[in-house]
């Protein structure tokens, strides 16, 4: 059996703010909470980490701090994508220099490149930096969908090790597994469908919900990885409401509201993400209670 370097629940960490600045004290506490709860890995400065509104200096500092605090206890996969290939290379190079175990590189947004352009983008990054990289495919945000056939080409490159698939398309997971080979890392980027993704041969999930319910999410993915599907289904039923509730408003505003309710950080987001709408807070708290967080 191949050794899969990234597996289980890998938390897409929020970036806490206080007074308009990154709240490093709260961030450290969130990391420690995740590790204590059994998270299998951490992703700083991804979409949930509001990387789009961080300065480059803030981005780099958050990665460095996450690596420092994790201290090798769990792998850190640093968000490092851009729609400019040279900028993506710079961010991946920084992730390596900071000591991250991997980089999460989103498909180029806004540019809408062809499949050949997507291939050459990731090929250039792979050639420039010797660090394991996951291709982040999230068409709902980027307006571009990387095809399984293109991923199969990328799987042959030395530093492209897998995918974060946020399409929610179960059929493509099985097809991709066959095309990309047994060493290809397959992580879901969609909490609600992660159970199905795991059953189709996935290895884990880069999870938003784990920010709020890390113990429950770790238990769920441990059950999946052990093939204990009845237990996994039981946890799915407890968590599905929270998976949905955390996207009742623009992410990560609901997640930050939930964390603030738990006393873990301020609810602050950066514009254009507005504070969590009052009308959905009751639903979020109800879902937290069902998941056993409250």
The answer to whether the peptide bond before residue 252 is cis (omega within 30 degrees of 0) is yes
Q: Are 208 and 194 in contact (CB under 8 A)?
A: no
Q: Are 66 and 13 in contact (CB under 8 A)?
A: yes
Q: Are 218 and 210 in contact (CB under 8 A)?
A: yes
164 is catalytic: yes
Q: Are 157 and 122 in contact (CB under 8 A)?
A: yes
Q: Are 218 and 236 in contact (CB under 8 A)?
A: no
Alpha-carbon distance of 207 to 190, in angstroms, equals 7
**Annotated catalytic residue within 119, 164, 197, 256:** 164
**Annotated catalytic residue within 136, 197, 256, 281:** 136
Alpha-carbon distance of 87 to 95, in angstroms, equals 12
Q: What is the 3-state secondary structure (H, E, C) of 248-267?
A: CCCCCHHHHHHHHHCCCCCC
Alpha-carbon distance of 192 to 171, in angstroms, equals 16
197 is catalytic: no
Q: What angle do CA 23, 28, 29 make, to 5 degrees?
A: 100
Residues annotated as part of the active site: 136, 164
């Amino acid at each position: 059996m191949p050794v899969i370097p990234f597996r289980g629940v890998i938390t897409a960490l929020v970036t806490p703010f206080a007074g308009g600045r990154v709240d490093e004290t709260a961030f450290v506490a969130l990391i420690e909470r995740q590790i204590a709860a059994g998270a299998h890995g951490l992703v700083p400065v991804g979409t949930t980490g509001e990387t789009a509104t961080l300065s480059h200096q803030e981005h780099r500092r958050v990665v460095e701090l996450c690596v420092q605090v994790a201290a090798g206890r769990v792998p850190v996969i640093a968000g490092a994508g851009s729609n400019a290939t040279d900028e993506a290379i710079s961010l991946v190079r920084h992730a390596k220099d900071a000591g991250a175990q991997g980089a999460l590189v989103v498909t180029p947004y806004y540019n809408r490149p062809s499949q050949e352009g997507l291939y050459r983008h990731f090929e250039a990054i792979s050639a420039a930096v010797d660090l394991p990289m996951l291709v982040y495919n999230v068409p709902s945000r980027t307006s571009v969908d990387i095809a399984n056939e293109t991923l199969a080409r990328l799987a042959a490159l030395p530093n492209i090790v897998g995918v974060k698939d946020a399409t929610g398309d179960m059929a493509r997971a099985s097809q991709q597994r066959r095309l990309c080979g047994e060493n290809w890392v397959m992580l879901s980027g969609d909490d609600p469908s992660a159970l199905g993704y795991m059953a189709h041969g996935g290895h884990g999930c880069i999870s938003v919900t784990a920010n709020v319910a890390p113990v429950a999410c770790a238990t769920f993915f441990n059950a999946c990885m052990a093939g204990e599907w009845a237990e996994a289904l039981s946890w799915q039923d407890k968590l599905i409401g929270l998976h949905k509730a955390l996207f009742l408003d623009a992410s990560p505003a609901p997640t930050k509201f939930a964390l603030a309710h738990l006393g873990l950080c301020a609810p602050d987001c950066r514009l254009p993400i507005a504070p969590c709408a009052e009308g959905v807070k009751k639903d979020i708290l109800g879902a937290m209670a069902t998941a056993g967080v409250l």
